[in-house]
Amino acid sequence: MEIETRTVGDVYVLDIRGKITLADGTTDIRDAISDILGSGGKKIILNLTGVNFVDGSGIGELVRTYTKVAKAGVELRLLNVTRKLWELLVITKLLFVFQVYDSERDAVASFA
């Protein structure tokens, strides 16, 4: 997994590529989120355009990330969720937890 962090105004965007699985990347996401929280970031978008697979551990990591940032008073959005991940979010009822966007502009604007 690869994660590139960039900012759009005061919003941190994590462009994630690869798999989100126990073996590939859950600790990478934790580290990137910790860095943002450490720098005082309050708005985060996880851009999942380049994510080609998410397993149960990956879903768990998304939930853990959401819980961690919410406790810190930080807002989190998901961007460009794949069809399979969308289906998993529906089945697990997590679609009611996460705010999901298809457009980066809409995701950024949702923080206003």
DSSP three-state, residue 80: coil
* Mode of pairing for the β-strands spanning 43-54 and 75-79: parallel
Which fold does the domain 2-109 belong to in CATH? Answer: Transcription Regulator spoIIAA (3.30.750)
Q: At what angle do helices 56-71 and 26-38 cross, to 10 degrees?
A: 10
What sign results for the dihedral spanned by CA atoms 71, 92, 110, 13? Answer: positive
pLDDT digits (tens, 9 = 90+) for 51-109: 999 988 889 999 999 999 999 999 999 999 999 899 999 999 999 999 999 999 999 99
pLDDT digits (tens, 9 = 90+) for 2-12: 999 999 999 99
Other residues' Cβ atoms within 10 Å of the Cβ of residue 112: 6
Give CA–CA dist 35/94, Å, rounded: 25
